[in-house]
Amino acid sequence: MRILLTSALAMTLAAMAWHAQAADPERGRSLAGQCRTCHGLNGIAKIPIAPHLAGENRIYIETQLKAFRSGKRQHEMMSVIAKDLSDEEISHLAAWYESIEITATMPE
């Protein structure tokens, strides 16, 4: 039993380490070149129908990109873009946009 638990823990830690290593904001930054026309390299959208991605939580970004890729979420532009993204590329992109610091100013 103890051996089983230890190996399960080791596998979980290895998976977490792999994930942390896989999500590289710098690699995401270069991948985001293909997103900049609409979302901006800094994650501030350039076209009115695209959402800002700057500072967005990586879990949300990953979930949405995977939903576009699988067809669960559909959009004429994003479905095409997400189709060829690998899990690794999605992690990098999500890490990039999450790493951008944003501030919000409420109206007076």
Contact positions vs ligand HEC (CB under 6 A): 34-35, 37-39, 49-51, 53, 61, 64-65, 75, 77-78, 81, 93
Measured CA to CA in angstroms, residue 73 lies from 37, 49, 85 at distances of: 21, 16, 15
Residue with nearest beta carbon to ligand HEC: 35
Q: Closer to ligand HEC at the Cβ: 35 or 54?
A: 35
Query: For the chain, what is the largest distance between any 2 Cα atoms, rounded to a whole number of angstroms?
Result: 61
Nearest C-alpha neighbor of 25 from the set 54, 66, 3: 54
Q: Closer to ligand HEC at the Cβ: 1 or 75?
A: 75
Q: Closer to ligand HEC at the Cβ: 23 or 61?
A: 61
